[in-house]
Amino acid sequence: MDKPLYVTRPYLPPLAEVLPSLESIWERRVLTNAGPYHQEFERELASFLGVPHISLVTNGTVALSLALEALDIQGEVITTPFSFVATSHALMMRGVEPVFADLAYGSVNIDPVQVEKAITDRTTAIMPVHCYGIPCDVNGLETVARNHHLHLIYDAAHAFGVGGRDDILNRGDMSTLSFHATKAFNTFEGGAIISSNAERKGAIDRLRNFGFRDELCVDALGANGKMSEFSAALGLVQLTHFEDIRRRRQEIDARYRSAFADVAGLTCLSYDGIDRPNYSYFPVFIGPEFRVTRDALYDELKSRNIHGRRYFYPLISNFAMYRGLPSSRPINLPNATRMANEVLCLPMYPDLDAADQDRIIGIVRGD
């Protein structure tokens, strides 16, 4: 049996580069509560991403929840069904109803036209996802949000370090990031919230620490959402490697694209108009002209110990806790349904070697 290949494999820096930080943590005994590494990482991350106000948190799901709390989001929020369940779970756990809008045709991102059609008198916000690091139509979405006086929160979990299209992390009221092991940049676990102004950052910083305003005053219903010193220290080291990781991912991406350029029925996503993709995933879309169905290809790869993922199938709207919502009816989501039925993410990580990638390519092509 060939060695297993997974859809992603987290990058970790050389352990020797992390050990000095661990020794420092052991000496100081400061493990959390905005310690020295936390403060340094927050500064360095803001500089690296080109954002004015960023708050480190425990993970990407907590980031979404705190953003919703800080903006006091209630009622209904229009979002995408083509995402990881954390996007809509964060809404439901706050008592907010997710309203699913369809994707733009041929896109993995929500369609501003469909968003506008879904607005009711209970709508308070729009929460799009920059799926696979492909930026949404930020100009179209902001026009809709502005015309209808809605908050705009971007789930940018996939979009770390992505450039172009008007600096997407600086758009809307807030953007949230995930530093989970499956992402292009990881801190073991972690996340961040980018705020449009200092007042909102201050609100997030209080909410991530139980709502404390000072030692004696708790004036908000917060949570323990702080990033640990270990994750922050690792993040500082990871930042020094990110551009090399991006270049290696780009090489793997280009090799896939070249190999699949003449394959009928197989489509790769375009990065047109994106100055700095992060190449976090490599999704392909298997149409009816391909030699086998998407699920048959998935099974064929799995039988050869290659574990791709059908990100994002099924749609969030198909899960039990969402199925009864009026916006979840498949007739309302034809483009999202098509993409979910055709998508297959192939292994993509910096240390995927050429021989292993050739094995994947050969199976997909049917050579």
Instruction: Show the domains of the chain with their CATH numbers.
Output: 15-237 (3.40.640.10), 240-365 (3.90.1150.10)
Report whether 226 contacts 57 (CB < 8 A): yes
What is the rounded distance in angstroms from the CA atom of residue 364 to the CA atom of residue 266? 9
Nearest partner of 318 among 110, 127, 85, 136, judged by Cα: 85
Query: Which ranges of the chain have pLDDT less than 70?
Result: 1, 164-166
Helix runs in 137-228, H state only? 138-147, 198-207
Give me the chain's average pLDDT, please.
Answer: 96
Nearest partner of 301 among 343, 352, 364, judged by Cα: 364
What is the rounded distance in angstroms from the CA atom of residue 219 to the CA atom of residue 300? 56
* Residue in the block written with tokens 């930026």: 135
Q: Which pTM value belongs to this model?
A: 0.96
What is the rounded distance in angstroms from the CA atom of residue 36 to the CA atom of residue 42? 10
* Residue in the block written with tokens 């090489």: 251
What is the rounded distance in angstroms from the CA atom of residue 9 to the CA atom of residue 23? 27
Q: What is the pLDDT of residue 275?
A: 85
What is the rounded distance in angstroms from the CA atom of residue 222 to the CA atom of residue 220? 6
Report whether 85 contacts 155 (CB < 8 A): no
Write the DSSP symbol of residue 341.
Answer: H
Nearest partner of 338 among 133, 107, 61, judged by Cα: 107
